[in-house]
Amino acid sequence: MVRAVELHLGPLHAAGYNILRSGVRWLYDSGHHCRPNEIFAFCNITLEPVSGRLSGPPPFAEELELQIAFASRVGGRVSIDASTARGGYLSVRTVDVWNPDTVIATIEPDPGADDVAGDPSRLRLLALAGRRMTDLAVTHSGLLPGWHGRSRGWWCEAGETPVTLLSLGVCDAAGLVLGEDCAFAEMFEATQSAAQMVYVPDHPLAPATPLLLDQLQRTPAQFEAIAADLRGFFERSTTPPTANDMIFAGTVLSVMQRNPIRDGYNVFSANGLTRLGPADAVLLSLAVEPTAILRHRKLGHHIHIMRHHQTAAGPAFKAWLADSFEPVRRSVQDIKLDYETLIDKIARTTGGRVIILNRMSTSGYEDVSSYLPFDAPMSDTLSLVAAKEWNLMLEDIADERALDIVDVDAIAADIGGGEHLPDGIHQSGLMQKVLRREVLSILANLRQPEIGHAETPRAAAVR
Amino acid sequence: MIYEFRMPLIVNQMTGATLECLYAKPGDSLKMGSKLFDLSIDLGSVFAQECPPVSFFRVVMREAAWLRKLELVPGKFSQVDEEIAIFSTTPDEDIDEPATRTIRTTVAGIVHHDGMWTGSQW
């Protein structure tokens, strides 16, 4: 008979604060078979000051979503303790003090599951924090609920410091970092090394390099000038701003005044409450770079809003774009220069390293037998020729600068682009798994710089 | 001889495509390499997600023919295998005759451009 193991919350500390939790919310019914490190439950968290009075802003003042998700270190069948659920608002509000000895479930481990790092009776904890796009974006359901301008998840054992990856890409980066439930669960399951994943969405502003450079360099006075310009346009616009205009404009300004690359992070864990510096690595998508970008005629800053997000704006905001901005064409050389400038600037300001997902450059959907019908330069017309040129441009940069390229192009070709990357950008679960391993391998090199940035084990990951 | 062009299955998951722009009109004599039209394929209806997986393709002639009939306007969605155009090898053949075969064309993925029905980038 297999001996059931009680699963304890384990230690969590934040000096000067009491950690309170809600009732436990279950992602599966009792009896569910869990893989090792698979999230099966979570609760909401608040940090309440012990003294009742703070000398400064609380450490998570901006992150109104704060949760801990639970996973067992060993695989097996989980039996939940229904009494820990509490129910109703008590499963939303934080009502219980975090007690490391609390048992929330038991697990019947799989045969041979005793070969595990750490105490199998102590749950692995995934801490989650969401900074809402607006404080009105309140949702109580599920993991990291609501609309966030930045979300993050971190995990570490006692004595470990997480390595931080900041995702500033589009769907290709979001899928592999956030995972299917948008709560970093797959990343957490894929590695037991201490890490923090940070995700900044690609809306309303898409993270093309000119915008990231603007954000890195923008002063408060420059931001005020942008805000004043937008307000002034709305005031004199013959098209009265609609609710959609106001919401869209507010969101754009909210994003513009932040600088995710320079952000530092408060984390709490078994090690207590600590402050991490800016991201150790920044993940970008080559696919987001446009061949033409809007530049403000007077103030010089850039705007790039993906077409499917533009529909959320009202007529006045669109009129502001048409009136105050001009499209600027970008050659491959221009894009290369932007990347080089960004890589150098990140290295200088935060010491962070850039990782980039390249583009798929082959497709089974084409049947081109001759390129004679297409005018030169073909990369202006043919998307896959452009993708090849852009991928080569990244290789040229990597020859001279610290840049890690995740070879989406080769991985898709290896496992089957038609099945796993049907439109060239949205990957299957298997492809995300392979890409995730690739990114984690790069992060592992960051933890052990003496190993250097050797070739990542993509072939092994595919196998 | 009469040739036909039916909306091809370019992407396995597609149900049809939208015409983005036309480069030829009925009565035109087209050479090998002439551009016919640009299409967009939106897999959004197949994969439920907020970011529509839209890709763009150009159809180019791979043989010479007269374009005799074209029932497309920019913005029109056509189902896979729907008849789109009729071609003939001479300008005055009876296009009510059954098609001998499908016209030979090339399909290539292209970059979005401002001449498309879906509009400019902004």
Average pLDDT score over residue span A371-375 = 85
Single-letter code of the amino acid located at A173: A
Under DSSP, is residue B110 helix (H, G, I), strand (E, B) or coil? strand
Is residue A157 situated within a structural domain? no
Give me the percent of chain A exceeding a pLDDT of 90. Answer: 79
pLDDT for position A37: 96
Is residue A17 situated within a structural domain? yes
Query: Which of A170, A294, A373 lies nearest to residue B33, judging by beta carbons?
Result: A373
Q: For residue range A165-200, list pLDDT tens digits in order.
A: 999 989 999 999 999 888 999 999 999 999 999 999
Q: Do A287 and A425 share a domain, yes or no? A: yes
Q: For residue range A223-260, list pLDDT tens digits in order.
A: 999 999 999 999 999 999 999 999 999 999 999 999 99
Chain A environment of B15 (Cβ under 8 Å): none
Average pLDDT score over residue span A345-368 = 92
* Interface-testing mutation among B111, B116, B120, with chain A (most A C-beta atoms within 10 A): B111
What is the DSSP code string of A318-361?
HHHHHHHEEEEE--HHHHHHHHHHHHHHHHHHT--EEEEE----
* Total domains in the fold of chain A: 3
pLDDT category, A449, cuts 50, 70, 90? Answer: low
| Touching B: A residues 321-340, CB under 8 Å | 321-322, 325, 327
Query: Which of A170, A290, A386 lies nearest to residue B121, judging by beta carbons?
Result: A290
A112 or A318, higher pLDDT: A318
Is residue A52 situated within a structural domain? yes
Is residue A214 situated within a structural domain? no
Query: Which of A308, A325, A366 lies nearest to residue B107, judging by beta carbons?
Result: A366
- Interchain CB distance below 8 Å, B111 and A423: no
pLDDT for position A456: 40
Interface pTM (ipTM) of the complex?
0.82
B122 or A370, higher pLDDT: A370
Q: A368 in contact with B at a CB cutoff of 8 Å?
A: yes
Q: Does position A124 have pLDDT exceeding 90, yes or no?
A: yes
Q: Do A286 and A411 share a domain, yes or no? A: yes
pLDDT for position A57: 81
pLDDT for position A113: 75
| Touching A: B residues 83-112, CB under 8 Å | 106-111
Q: Do A142 and A188 share a domain, yes or no? A: no
Q: Do A320 and A360 share a domain, yes or no? A: no
Under DSSP, is residue A406 helix (H, G, I), strand (E, B) or coil? strand
- Interchain CB distance below 8 Å, B122 and A380: no
Q: Could you tell me the pTM of the whole model?
A: 0.89
- Interchain CB distance below 8 Å, A383 and B56: yes
Q: Do A302 and A380 share a domain, yes or no? A: no
Q: Do A398 and A448 share a domain, yes or no? A: yes
Q: Which of A277, A308, A329 is the last residue of a domain?
A: A329
Q: For residue range A404-413, list pLDDT tens digits in order.
A: 999 999 999 9
- Interchain CB distance below 8 Å, B122 and A322: yes
Q: A292 in contact with B at a CB cutoff of 8 Å?
A: yes
Under DSSP, is residue B57 helix (H, G, I), strand (E, B) or coil? strand
* Number of residues that this document lists for chain A: 463
Q: Do A15 and A142 share a domain, yes or no? A: yes
Query: Which of A321, A365, A418 lies nearest to residue B109, judging by beta carbons?
Result: A365
- Please tell me the least confidently modeled range out of A59-73, A106-120, A221-235, B7-21: A106-120
A60 vs A319: CA distance, rounded Å:
38
Residues β-bridged to residue B109: B57
Q: For residue range B87-101, list pLDDT tens digits in order.
A: 999 999 999 999 999
Q: How far is B121 from chain A (nearest CA, A)?
A: 6
pLDDT category, B120, cuts 50, 70, 90? Answer: low
Q: Do A174 and A310 share a domain, yes or no? A: no
pLDDT for position B45: 57
Q: Does position A117 have pLDDT exceeding 90, yes or no?
A: no
A422 or B4, higher pLDDT: B4
Q: Do A367 and A440 share a domain, yes or no? A: yes
Give me the percent of chain A exceeding a pLDDT of 70. Answer: 96
- Please tell me the least confidently modeled range out of A241-250, A383-392, A441-450, B22-31: A441-450
Q: Do A131 and A31 share a domain, yes or no? A: yes
The CATH number for A438's domain is: 3.40.50.1110
Q: For residue range A299-311, list pLDDT tens digits in order.
A: 999 999 987 788 8
Q: How far is A37 from chain B (nearest CA, A)?
A: 27
Single-letter code of the amino acid located at B54: V
Q: Work out the end-to-end distance of chain B between its first and last CA atoms, rounded to an integer number of angstroms.
A: 44
Q: Do A92 and A226 share a domain, yes or no? A: no
Q: Which residue of B has its CA nearest to A373?
A: B33
- Interchain CB distance below 8 Å, A383 and B110: yes
Is residue A392 situated within a structural domain? yes
* Domain coverage including residue A225: 219-258+293-329
Q: For residue range B42-84, list pLDDT tens digits in order.
A: 876 554 445 666 789 999 999 999 999 998 899 999 999 999 9
What Rg value do the Cα atoms of chain B yield, rounded?
Answer: 15
pLDDT for position A460: 40
Q: A366 in contact with B at a CB cutoff of 8 Å?
A: yes
Average pLDDT score over residue span A361-387 = 87
Is residue A314 situated within a structural domain? yes
Average pLDDT score over residue span A347-376 = 90
Q: A88 in contact with B at a CB cutoff of 8 Å?
A: no
Is residue A117 situated within a structural domain? yes
**Taking the CB of residue A186, how many other CB atoms lie within 10 A of it?**
21
Q: For residue range A282-292, list pLDDT tens digits in order.
A: 999 999 998 88
Q: Which of A96, A118, A146 is the last residue of a domain?
A: A146
Q: How far is B51 from chain A (nearest CA, A)?
A: 7
Question: Chain A to chain B, count of Cβ pairs less than 8 Å apart?
Answer: 85
Burial class (CB in 10 A: 0-12, 13-18, 19+), A266: middle
Q: Do A448 and A299 share a domain, yes or no? A: no
Q: Which of A95, A118, A146 is the last residue of a domain?
A: A146
Is residue A356 situated within a structural domain? yes
